[in-house]
């Protein structure tokens, strides 16, 4: 059974909890099963790597770690403030996401 999430890849989100609280960024990927998302520039962790073709020097890399989607809110396209998400049918009967704050459709 798949769960419908309020966040998709490419959304601009606001982090409302955790070490990165108050930051915003673009969603790079979503793990539906674990209900986690990777957000650009948020929840950065240091990772030790061995030398390889991509990184011949090796050493310590800094990269984004996954963050639970309950700690993220989509930004309203109109005001740029965090908002909740609703779903409604458009003219063709297809479900679209919209911002509860402004009623604006989220692409």
Question: What's the structural domain count of the chain?
Answer: 2
What's the rounded Cα separation, in Å, for the pair 92 and 21?
38
Task: Please tell me the pTM assigned to this model.
Answer: 0.83
Boundaries of domain holding 1: 1-75
Two tokens, residue 94: 């297809």
Residues 54 and 94 in one domain: no
Using a CB cutoff of 8 Å and minimum separation of 24, what contacts does 23-26 make?
Answer: 24/75
pLDDT band with cut points at 50, 70 and 90 for residue 62: very high
Looking at the predicted structure, is the pLDDT value of residue 2 above 70? no
pLDDT in the model for residue 23: 95
Residues 1 and 49 in one domain: yes
Tokens 């099963």 identify what position? Answer: 33
95-105: pLDDT as tens digits: 999 999 999 99
């Amino acid at each position: 059974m798949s769960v419908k999430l309020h966040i998709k890849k490419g959304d601009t989100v606001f982090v409302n909890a955790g070490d990165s609280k108050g930051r915003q960024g673009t969603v790079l990927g979503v793990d539906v099963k674990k209900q986690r998302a990777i957000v650009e520039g948020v929840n950065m962790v240091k990772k030790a790597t061995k030398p390889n073709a991509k990184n011949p020097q090796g050493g310590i890399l800094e990269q984004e770690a996954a963050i639970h989607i309950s700690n993220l809110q989509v930004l309203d396209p109109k005001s740029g403030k965090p908002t909740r998400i609703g779903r409604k049918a458009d003219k063709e009967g297809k479900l679209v996401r919209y911002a509860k704050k402004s009623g604006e459709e989220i692409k």
